[in-house]
Structure 1
Amino acid sequence: MAVAVPILPSQQLAALNDAYRKAVAKKRLRLTLGMAVFFAALVAASIGAEVNLRTLFTYFGHFVSYFDRILTLEDGTRVWTNVGEWLWGWRKWSLLLGETILISYVGTLFGALLAFALNFLAAENTSPAPWLRFVIKRLLEFCRTVPGIVFALIFVIAFGLGPMAGVLAIALHSIGALAKQYAEMVENIDMKPVEGVRSTGASWLSCMRFAVLPQVAAGFASYTLLRFEINVREASVMGFVGAGGIGTELVMAVRKFYYSDVSAILLMIVLTVFAIDIGTGWVRERLLGKDRRA
């Protein structure tokens, strides 16, 4: 069955086409201006950061040659031709890697516990008072704004060299990062269960326990596992300032120009992070999958 397609009068059609062309031109103008502002900001940032492409290409060979040196043993052969000589200190390095993982685990655990306690006070829909939310948010911003390695340096000065400084630095930085993620999850929950529990005369703590927590528990656990994975990498670097772990051995190898030791330690760190990433990823998928099925 044929369907008749109505044809607009030429004058009306011309007006619509003209309006369409103006809209497209306006959109293209906004895009062009946006790109111009972006590239102008990029150039200004490059000048401010002293990014010099000529210097980059001139000295890029030094960067490549360093990787050549760390993949070469003292006798001039490649590291993979004599794995026993390359990984001569694997027992000592494994113990230090274990220390790094423990620093990350304890720091993440303490940070997650305090972040769990504070996030409900920082979330807009669950905070008991606006002034309290303001204070907690500023505190969390401070915790996550200061780099973890700076906290580690401060704690090394205060408590001396060793894992304790790394644990405290990891914990403090994790509080700020995790509490923000937790609070954002809480702010996106369905408030109907909260209103239902509140209508029974339940306390604020009861509302959090029975109406909010069941909606966000899986997400909290997922973010905590992700933070643990990040903290393992953070703890590896904190050893540079004496906060314990494998980083102390790595910076020593760099300073003493033990090139093959640098590559061996880096290999062990990378493999450890890979294993933790795969393991925590599998657990996160299980947690989120269970939450979706519910």
Structure 2
Amino acid sequence: MTTAVSILPPQQLAELNRAYRREVARKRLRTALAAALFLAALVVAAFGAEVNLKTFFTYIGNFASYFDRILTLDSGARVWTDFGEWFWGWRKWLHLLGETILISYVGTLIGAVLAFGLNFLAAENTSPGPVLRFVVRRLLEFARTVPSIVFALIFVIAFGLGPMAGVLAIAIHCVGALGKQYSEMVENADMKPVEGIRSTGASWISCMRFAVLPQVIAGYASYTLLRLEINVREASVMGFVGAGGIGQELVVAIRKFYYSDVSAILLTIILTVFVIDIATGWLRSRLFGREART
């Protein structure tokens, strides 16, 4: 079977080629202007932040030498040549690490429960009224805008040194972060089931329970597990201000120049975060499929 190929007249074809070249030139010009604006903004930001490349390259050796020191024992040997000396305080560090994990777990649990109770009020398609939605959204913004370490410092002043300050700080920050993620998932939910249940005379709570929640519950669990990973790292840092956990021991080692202890504690934290990341990723894939891991 033969097919006919239409050939445009030379004049029309030339006009199309000129239009194509003009469009390509305009696109390249827009790309070049965007790149120039980006570079200009980068230069201005670097100047405002006092980023000095000369200072960076002058003192980059200090950074490398510090890593050399933390990988060296007091005897002068490398840390991996004597694990007994390197991890001499492993019992104490594991105890503090367990405290860090518990701080993040309890804080995440409290934050997730509070975020679950507030997200339906913050979502545009499920909130009972605009005033309530505005108030709840501003509350969530405040909770996630203030860094968790600032909350930890405030609670340390209020309640004293210890894990309680870390739990409260993580819980408040977690409310803001998870509340926003939960509410965005609710806003993307299909509202037809809600209309169907509402037509039967069901209450607002029943509509949320039977029409919206089944659509978003898997996402809730996935984001909560992801937040748990983040909070383990945050709980490690909160020890710097006295909020309990292994961070408290790490900052002592840094201030007293116990170099090999710094590397041992850092390695312990890194391995723990790796294990939690792999475990929560596996759990998400088992519960909700591989797409929930991304």
Question: Does the alignment reach a TM-score above 0.5?
Answer: yes
Residue in structure 1 matched with residue 96 of structure 2 by the alignment: 96
Residue in structure 1 matched with residue 59 of structure 2 by the alignment: 59
Q: 1:32 is aligned with what amino acid?
A: A
- Consecutive unaligned residues of structure 2, counting only runs of 5 or more, are none
Structure 1 residue 291: Cα displacement: 9.4
Q: In 1, Cα distance between the equivalents of 2:200 and 2:29?
A: 57
Q: In 1, Cα distance between the equivalents of 2:116 and 2:82?
A: 49
Identical-pair percentage: 78
Q: In 2, Cα distance between the equivalents of 1:260 and 1:277?
A: 26
Q: 2:43 is aligned with what amino acid?
A: V
Structure 1 residue 288: Cα displacement: 2.0
Q: 1:76 is aligned with what amino acid?
A: G
Q: In 1, Cα distance between the equivalents of 2:159 and 2:202?
A: 44
Q: In 1, Cα distance between the equivalents of 2:183 and 2:286?
A: 22
2:285–2:291: 8 Å Cα contact kept in structure 1?
no
Residue in structure 1 matched with residue 124 of structure 2 by the alignment: 124
Q: In 2, Cα distance between the equivalents of 1:98 and 1:242?
A: 16
2:284–2:290: 8 Å Cα contact kept in structure 1?
no
Q: 1:53 is aligned with what amino acid?
A: L
How many residue pairs get matched?
292
Would the alpha carbon gap of residues 290 and 204 (structure 1) be closer, same or farther in structure 2, given more than 3 Å must change?
farther
Residue in structure 2 matched with residue 13 of structure 1 by the alignment: 13
Q: 2:108 is aligned with what amino acid?
A: T
> Can you list the C-alpha shifts for 1:145-165, whole angstroms capped at 9, x where unaligned?
111100000110111111000
Q: In 1, Cα distance between the equivalents of 2:290 and 2:238?
A: 36
Q: 1:131 is aligned with what amino acid?
A: V
User: Bigger CA drift: 16-25 or 119-128?
Assistant: 16-25
* 2:228 pairs with 1:228: yes
Question: Post-superposition, which runs of at least 4 consecutive aligned residues in structure 1 deviate over 3 A?
Answer: none
Q: In 1, Cα distance between the equivalents of 2:253 and 2:180?
A: 37
Structure 1 residue 286: Cα displacement: 1.8
Would the alpha carbon gap of residues 213 and 69 (structure 1) be closer, same or farther in structure 2, given more than 3 Å must change?
same
> Can you list the C-alpha shifts for 1:240-286, whole angstroms capped at 9, x where unaligned?
00000000000000000000000010111111111111111111112
Residue in structure 2 matched with residue 186 of structure 1 by the alignment: 186
> Can you list the C-alpha shifts for 1:109-161, whole angstroms capped at 9, x where unaligned?
00000000000011111111111111111111111111110000011011111
Q: In 1, Cα distance between the equivalents of 2:125 and 2:228?
A: 27
Would the alpha carbon gap of residues 291 and 77 (structure 1) be closer, same or farther in structure 2, given more than 3 Å must change?
closer
Residue in structure 1 matched with residue 114 of structure 2 by the alignment: 114
Normalising by structure 1, report the TM-score: 0.97
Structure 1 residue 20: Cα displacement: 1.2
* 2:172 pairs with 1:172: yes
Structure 1 residue 287: Cα displacement: 2.4
1:229–1:276: 8 Å Cα contact kept in structure 2?
yes
Residue 289 of structure 2 aligns to a residue whose secondary structure is helix
Q: In 2, Cα distance between the equivalents of 1:207 and 1:51?
A: 54
> Can you list the C-alpha shifts for 1:29-65, whole angstroms capped at 9, x where unaligned?
1111110111001111111111111111111110000
Q: In 1, Cα distance between the equivalents of 2:136 and 2:39?
A: 37
Normalising by structure 2, report the TM-score: 0.97
* 2:150 pairs with 1:150: yes
